[in-house]
Chains A and B, each alone.
Chain A
């Protein structure tokens, strides 16, 4: 069975979250983008979730693939 392609940082990020952090006074605002908890090319039951074409603002060929992204 192919391995799950979930990010390899889950545990590491949990550990990181628990650690005390120094606030950087010269940084006005910080955002965690959530990439550690999200999935890219995640495999579920042996198939990639984010499959097929992932065009970005280019879909113009009307081939319909971009619509997969809305399901």
Chain B
């Protein structure tokens, strides 16, 4: 809420209900105060406490969100290429239904040339560009095409004295040839690995219904020994939810010092027709995550969830994909700001023309994307999380899949613990920005 021209939020203090937390994110300020005093501060009437409180608050520096937005708009976009929608696995919950009969396409070299030529023509002088391979299919499925894209990008970058940083989400189901390409060319990898064999094989079978665990484990060991910068991502289902501790032990024992992202399954794509593995209860998942942070405290593994990473930063816009906006070119030639599946039309701001082999952009759509910032969301106006979740993923907003209750539940816990100086691995981990994200 806005008081004395300051954004100030009240948050329940869980240890003593006679007290309350006052939170001013734009002043980087959190305070514990008795409820009766807070009522004076928040009231429309003047009082000594109110005057002193706001005098103190206003003396602190102010974080200008509009300035961040303005500068984001001047930054080079990142490029994401969905080079295939095919896959070597048939994960039961695959959000993209990769490899199904209608998902077996791969980009041509002509299309890759056109996209990369346009991208390098568009960008401003810089040292580094980041190019990722995402989109639901397994980028290594046709590794010759992947190699072609890597070489073409490096060639174009070299002409402008730019270095390419490649990143990718991958299933790890391949042998030494592809493992070598990855360790040589990629800066960052997210490896999908759901844990011990009984979980991983149930979640992530091959095309023939066989388990993929052994080969993925070998890949993970290869990456680990190669010192590749990679992290694990495990999807949690109703089946694996009771095994979260053993999943953590598994990664801590086999891959000490690595990070593990735990995210819950959602019923999308192939998961719509899957009956033996279902999404876990979302609130139960959030509560279990909080317990897991304590469980993993002394273990050589960093446990994170996308909910846990946002309480050391504040932001005016959910992601740089929308904030810049970035370029994602999908297999059908749409140029979008987001590489989530089936993004709504609002995100599509250009098109690759298969006939003319050229790219076209819609400036009015780009302008609309740039308006997707939290200050434009009236329903977020009085929420203490507004500069942390930034109104949440714009795609989820448009598709009405927001989950404000879970965001506030975790936010409440993190801010309470921060105030109590309790060791919270969320906060400890995220206090090192250079290790948190690349």
Contact with B along A1-38 (1 / 0, CB 8 A): 11101011100110010010110101111111111101
Q: Flag if B129 contacts A46 (CB, 8 Å).
A: yes
Interface size on B, residues (CB 8 A): 108
Q: Flag if B437 contacts A50 (CB, 8 Å).
A: yes
Known interface pairs A45-B128, A69-B309; A62-B263 also in contact (CB < 8 Å): yes
Q: Flag if A41 contacts B231 (CB, 8 Å).
A: no
- Chain A residue nearest in CB terms to B127: A45
A6 to B235, CA, bound (A): 33
Contact with A along B246-267 (1 / 0, CB 8 A): 0000000000000111011110
Known interface pairs A3-B74, A36-B61, A47-B76; A69-B410 also in contact (CB < 8 Å): no
Query: A41 touches which one: B61, B128, B320, B407 (CB < 8 A)?
Result: B320
| Tally of contacts, chain A with chain B, CB under 8 A | 275
Interface members, chain B 57-97 (any A CB < 8 Å): 59-64, 67-68, 71-72, 74-76, 78, 91, 93-96
Q: Is B219 an interface residue (CB 8 A)?
A: no
Known interface pairs A32-B28, A65-B339; A27-B53 also in contact (CB < 8 Å): yes
Stretch in B3-11, B146-154, B310-318 touching the partner: B310-318
6 A-B pairs besides A16-B59, A63-B96, A66-B305 with CB distance below 8 A are A28-B34, A46-B126, A47-B129, A59-B263, A61-B340, A63-B341
Q: List 12 A-B contacts (CB under 8 A).
A: A21-B56, A28-B34, A31-B30, A36-B28, A38-B312, A40-B315, A53-B338, A56-B306, A56-B307, A57-B286, A57-B306, A62-B235
Interface, chain B (partner A; CB < 8 A): 19, 25, 28-34, 37, 49, 52-53, 56, 59-64, 67-68, 71-72, 74-76, 78, 91, 93-96, 124-130, 132, 134, 136, 163, 165, 167, 169, 188, 190, 192, 229-233, 235, 259-261, 263-266, 268, 279, 282, 286, 302, 304-307, 309-310, 312-315, 318-321, 323-324, 326, 338-341, 388-390, 392-393, 396, 401-403, 406-407, 410, 418-419, 431, 433, 436-438
